[in-house]
Amino acid sequence: MKSCKNMMEVREEIDRVDRLIVPLLLERLEYIKQAGGIKADRNAVRDEWRIEDVVSKAKQTAQGLDGDLNYINDIYRHLIEWSINHEFDVWDNKHP
């Protein structure tokens, strides 16, 4: 991680990181879409065990990097809820 000397540098680094994150989020979304098309039962879209598994793995990764576990927990829970809602939309469109 770069040590920034001013806000311009901080903003440049945040923008750089965002350019790395956005393609990964979009790739993840494509897999969410696939899941919505694969699942045969709408009730399978929300899988509480899987939610906890994903959050746990993300927090383990963060912990290995000495990261803020609360931050990762909150971000992932929001990401998962958005993803589940999107997957419901995909499922509903496939099964009118």
**How many angstroms separate the CA atoms of 34 and 16, rounded?**
29
Residue 1 has pLDDT above 90, yes or no: no
The parent domain of residue 59 ranges over 7-94
User: Which CATH number goes with the domain that contains 47?
Assistant: 1.20.59.10
- The conformation of residue 62, written as its DSSP 8-state character, comes to H
> Residue 96 — very low, low, confident or very high, per pLDDT cuts 50/70/90?
confident
User: Is 1 part of any domain?
Assistant: no
Is residue 79 very low, low, confident or very high in pLDDT (cuts 50, 70, 90)?
Answer: very high
Domain membership of residue 11 (yes or no) is yes
Domain presence at residue 2: no
